[in-house]
Amino acid sequence: RKEVEQDPGPFNVPEGATVAFNCTYSNSASQSFFWYRQDCRKEPKLLMSVYSSGNEDGRFTAQLNRASQYISLLIRDSKLSDSATYLCVVILDTGRRALTFGSGTRLQVQP
Amino acid sequence: EPEVTQTPSHQVTQMGQEVILRCVPISNHLYFYWYRQILGQKVEFLVSFYNNEISEKSEIFDDQFSVERPDGSNFTLKIRSTKLEDSAMYFCASSELQANSNQPQHFGDGTRLSIL
Residue B1 pLDDT greater than 90, yes or no: no
| B93: exposed, middle or buried (Cβ count in 10 Å: 0-12, 13-18, 19+) | buried
Contact A100 B31 (CB under 8 A): no
Contact yes or no for A96 and B43 at CB 8 A: no
Mean pLDDT score across all residues of chain A: 94
Q: How far is CA A98 from CA A28, A49, B71, B81, B104, in A?
A: 16, 15, 24, 25, 11
Distances (CA, A) of A70 to A73, B41, B116: 10, 22, 41
B104 DSSP 8-state letter: P
Give the model's pLDDT for residue B33.
97
Contact: A41, B89; criterion CB under 8 Å:
yes
CB B12 within 8 A of CB B19: no
The one-letter amino acid code at B42 reads K
Q: What are phi and psi of A11, to 5 degrees?
A: -100, 115
pLDDT category of residue B2 using cuts at 50, 70 and 90: confident
**Which pLDDT tens digit goes with each residue over B22-68?**
999 998 898 999 999 999 999 999 999 998 999 999 999 999 999 99
Q: What is the pLDDT at residue B101? A: 57
User: So what's the pLDDT on residue A94?
Assistant: 80
**E strand map for B1-116:** 5-7, 10-13, 19-24, 31-37, 43-50, 53-57, 65-68, 75-79, 88-95, 106-107, 111-115
Over residues A53-72, the mean pLDDT reads: 94
Using an 8 Å CB-CB cutoff, list chain A residues near B110.
42-43
Assess contact for B17 and B114: CB atoms under 8 A: no
A100 CB within 8 Å of a chain B CB: yes
Q: Determine the 3-state secondary structure of B21 from DSSP.
A: strand
Q: Give the one of B101, B106, B110 whose C-beta lies nearest to A96's C-beta.
A: B101
Give the residue from chain B lying closest to A105, CA to CA: B42
Closest CA to B77 of B16, B24, B3: B24
Looking at the predicted structure, is the pLDDT value of residue A2 above 90?
no
Q: What is the pLDDT of residues B5-20, one digit of tens each?
A: 999 999 999 999 999 9
A87-95 mean pLDDT: 90
